[in-house]
Amino acid sequence: MHAVNSNGANIPALGFGTFRMSGDEVLRILPQALKIGFRHVDTAQIYGNEAEVGEAMRMSGIPRPDVFLTTKVWVDNYRQDAFVASVEESLRKLGTDYVDLLLLHWPGSDVPMAERIGALNAVLKAGKVRHIGVSNFNMAQMEEAVRLSEAPIATNQVEYHPYLDQTKLLHAARRHGMSLTAYYAMANGRTPSDPLLAEIGARHGRTAAQVALRWLVQQQDVVALSKTATEARLKENFAIFDFALTREDMAAIRGLAKPDGRIVSPAGLAPEWDA
């Protein structure tokens, strides 16, 4: 697996996401994911499974420095004092003295951006995190975060799949040495059953889901998160680095994007999305 260099953060291009996974599911499947070869794990305070993620990482026997671990600060904790305390709590739950990447989970908050970015920089300086980033930011918010941050912003984790065109946001991230980390690659189950993706997959001896993941990681400066609770699908998701899509494949998949392709946009948390 290749890594994406994002302002000094070498992020494995394929991560294992734990959104909407119970603690029991994490304990069952994450050690298997690490055994297969995943070295990038993504969780968040609001997921409620940080403790199980940490336990599963220890169960795997993989040395802590070999795993790139991401968590996210929830919006209720953006005030400076609450922020630092919440990160310390995350570290206790995860059973580690640092995370590789810490993100602001959503932009929706009345806490000034300068305070949020300042808190990110504070925990970075304290050695509690190795790199900092944002999630679900539009272009203007991303630019503001970069401007306000003393340390470089590594990534913007956003919804990204063949039905949602994120080209403008990706180009904006690149200007600052950042990556995009793509979640919802399966688009709520739509990509695995897509006829075009299945057709392209058949030519490569792959599934439509593998094509969707490969399409993401084959783009420069894009990291993809995959998620599954089944071992068979786990192996399928990981097997995307021994084939390549053609230029024509990539363009055809990009052509699936639609203006109404966005799936995730919670009121009060999401920004005004870029057109």
Query: Using one digit for the tens of pLDDT, what is the confidence trace for 61-102?
Result: 999 999 999 999 999 999 999 999 999 999 999 999 999 999
Residue that the structure tokens 């966005």 belong to: 262
pLDDT in tens, 17-68: 999 999 999 999 999 999 999 999 999 999 999 999 999 999 999 999 999 9
pTM passes above 0.85: yes
Say whether 105 counts as a known binding-site residue.
yes
Q: Which two tokens stand for residue 54?
A: 């940490």
Positions marked active-site: 47
Q: Which residues pair with 16 in a beta bridge?
A: 41, 226
Domain chopping of the chain, boundaries: 3-193+218-229
CA–CA distance, 55 with 273 (Å, rounded to integer): 37
The DSSP-derived string for 244-260 is: ---HHHHHHHHTT--TT
- Fold (topology level) of 3-193+218-229: TIM Barrel (3.20.20)
